[in-house]
Amino acid sequence: MTREAGGIWRGAVAGDCHGLYYTYGVTHDDQRFEVVDPYARAAGVNGDRGMVVDLARTNPEGWAEVERPVLAAPVDAVIYEMHVRDFSTHPQSGIKHKGKFLAFTEQDTQGPQGVKTGLGHLLDLGVTHLHLLPVFDFASVDEGEVDSPQFNWGYDPKNYNVPEGSYATDPFRGEVRIRELKAAIKALHEKGIGVIMDVVYNHTYNSWDSNLNRLVPGYYYRMNPDRSFANGSGCGNELASERPMVRKLIIDSVIYWATEYRVDGFRFDLMGLLDLETVRQIREALGRIAPGLLLYGEGWTGGPSPLPGDQAALKGNAPSLPGIAFFNDSARDGIKGHVFNQLEAGFVNGQAGLEESVKFGIVAATHHPQLCYERVNYDHAPWALEPGQSVIYCEAHDNLTLWDKLMITNGNESEEQRINRHKLAGALVLTSQGIPFLHAGQDFLRTKGGNSNSYLAPDAVNQLDWARKARYFEVYAYYRGLITLRKAHPAFRLCTTEQIQAHLRFMDLPTQLIGYTLGEHANGDPWRLIVALFNARTTPVSVALPAGEWVVVVDQRQAGVKALGYVTGPEVEVEPLSALVLVDRASFR
């Protein structure tokens, strides 16, 4: 390669180079390194060599004709977080391509007792977006060991613009993983399901010997005064996103995935390690590509960082990042208890005094005059400008599943009681304002056997156990009904803070009870007035209702948009450990 002005090096190779593998030879002082092009779009096995690729040859048949799904507003999304291997590796999944991208293309698969699995499960449940844990090339799995089951969540990036080879049927040919990931996205788009990519631009797997550091030592990473690597990620290093060519690399990568693969959104791991300007420019770039692309992330870091807090994409800086959402950890821990203190219970586990933290999730971290923010567990002030900036959830790939948490905090109870607590948590998430987020399998009491950090645990721990869907089908149907309710009624999807302030009014109830009304055809809802009640007590409670006759659409056993019963008195009894949603009878249809 020849050097040009501005630090640019250029080389040209004549002819059709599709399938040609290449690396860069880089010399610093008296040391020479062989590195992979950080812009490589294809790679050989284990990502050790880049590959020239004609991307047009990787498009599956009909790729150009399939349109991406588009939502009117971020709050219309219902996100389902999934690991590629978890989706299909269970022996009873009924899926042929176990652990592979192509598992998402298989139609009409069934599990125990004929329950729908795979793609059919997603469609039947009603989620709008599938959030995939990292599918770019990561370093912790040996792709060459194709017959050896290996597992990792994938938060250890190696090549940012190359799909992970262990999810392909042939990791040795660089174009195969591209074609098969596109086939998976195409199959999901054909069913109207968007694809969200979990991205880890905050660090790389290697530090001093990474491709980036060998290209330009010390430039791509934040360094401490002693020239050691800063470690705000907790993984050994952190990228210096504020530097021009690092920022360019990240933005170019996001644009590439959104255009070439038609990805519909991005979840940023440890987004608090990225600087505000980089995240703003990513949001602007996504807005130019297509309407409705989602962008959300963790509004925190994994440890102290040299990046000043007022320049970081932390949740407290959300007002400086319109159009970007953050996980609402105050509501998460308010609902189920502290994620790092396994014995600490939340609202649904029976702990009193967390009502304001749960309400903080109900109003999507926005300003509401009825909230006492001093009593919110972590956030003592609203941080969301609009409800679309808050991701409401109570379970994710990290930490204990909700079911495993309940096994620890309420293990002396009957299974029926724990199921009721689980359903109560699901009702809170799926009726709250903001963007609801579910962990795959949460809808049928997913367990990892008490493993709170399963990032490299075997498939037996991490896989979706489809037999549980058959065993706990009533729970699955309940979650499905809640999603149906949310998608059918825009009152649960208010788009502005002003709408929440105008239409959502909390009821004055004693501890371990939460109730509110959604009034006057909120957000154009055909239902005039909705009452939502949540009882975390182990005894029934009578609650006064506004005057009128009422139709029950959610109770302890069922959820949806159909009438489950009628209430005509001035009060209603809310069963123990249950949600109750009622609609004024005059507007119910």
- What region does 441 belong to: left with phi over 0, alpha with psi -120 to 50, or beta? left
Instruction: Compute φ and ψ for 194, nearest 5 degrees.
Output: -80, 160
CB 481 within 8 A of CB 559: yes
Q: Per the structure block, which two tokens stand in for 17?
A: 């180079």
Angle between helices 118-125 and 174-190 (to 10 degrees): 30
The rounded distance, in Å, linking the Cα atoms of 392 and 332 is 7
The rounded distance, in Å, linking the Cα atoms of 223 and 13 is 37
The rounded distance, in Å, linking the Cα atoms of 530 and 588 is 10
Q: What is the four-CA torsion angle of 309, 313, 317, 323, rounded to 10 degrees? A: 170
CB under 8 Å to 27, separation ≥6 — which residues?
A: 33
The rounded distance, in Å, linking the Cα atoms of 240 and 306 is 10
Question: Catalytic one among 156, 298, 379, 555?
Answer: 298
Provide DSSP, 346-371.
-TTTT-TT-HHHHHHHHTTT---TT-
Cβ atoms within 10 Å, residue 315? 25
CB 99 within 8 A of CB 85: yes
Long-range contacts of 46-49 (CB under 8 A, 24+ apart): 46/139, 46/142, 46/143, 46/144, 46/165, 46/171, 47/137, 47/139, 47/143, 47/158, 47/159, 47/162, 47/165, 48/23, 49/21, 49/22, 49/23
The rounded distance, in Å, linking the Cα atoms of 495 and 387 is 6
Question: Catalytic one among 269, 386, 525, 555?
Answer: 269
Q: Which of 280, 193, 204, 196 is nearest to 240 (CA)?
A: 204
- The SS3 of residue 149 is coil
Q: Per the structure block, which two tokens stand in for 528?
A: 């005039």
Q: Looking at the DSSP assignment, which residues form a beta bridge with residue 28?
A: 31
CA of 495: how far to CAs of 3, 225, 325, 339, 561, in Å?
A: 52, 45, 13, 29, 21
Provide DSSP, 500-559.
HHHHEEE----TTEEEEEE-SSGGG-SSS-EEEEEE-SSS-EEEE--SS-EEEEE-SS-B
584 is catalytic: no
- Helix residue ranges, H only, 126-243: 174-190, 211-215
Instruction: Compute φ and ψ for 331, nearest 5 degrees.
Output: -70, -40
CB 315 within 8 A of CB 326: yes
- The SS3 of residue 293 is coil
Q: Which of 158, 161, 273, 162 is nearest to 221 (CA)?
A: 273
Would the CA dihedral through 536, 542, 548, 551 be positive or negative? positive
269 is catalytic: yes
What is the set of active-site residues? Answer: 269, 298
